[in-house]
Amino acid sequence: MIPQIDDATLQAICDILGKTEGGLTGSEISGILKGLDIPDVSQGNTKRYRLFDALKSKQENDGCANYVIAFIERALNPITYTEAPDLFDSLRIGINKVLVFSGYKLCEDGKVRTTERVSTLSESEEKANRLKKS
């Protein structure tokens, strides 16, 4: 069981994945939520707030972040970026800058694993850049 992720971290993750330029489309978000049986609780909202509301609700109901991590892994499955490897790298770096505050990293294989937790922006930036190379 993965401990719950705080709201600020969850919002930052959703902001990255829901970006207008270089983020997931609304239909991609819908498809992943549906595939994971996560209710889309605020369909009329913008992508990032809609995603935040869905993942926060699921996390609160389950008492863990298992489905938050599952969503990230599904959204950043490398096979879906074979025609856009730069986009995958960009999203992965952005997600890692946030995840490392909670002690997680998204690896090149699209799987989230534990890592040493950071507490400052400079540590986050440095760690994300190191993870880019691994």
Q: Would you say the C-alpha torsion 6, 12, 13, 17 has a positive or negative sign?
A: positive
Stated pTM of the model: 0.91
Question: pLDDT value at position 133?
Answer: 59
What was the pLDDT predicted at 134?
A: 56
Question: Cα–Cα distance between 24 and 120 in angstroms, integer?
Answer: 27
- Per-residue pLDDT, 130: 73
Domain positions in the chain: 7-132
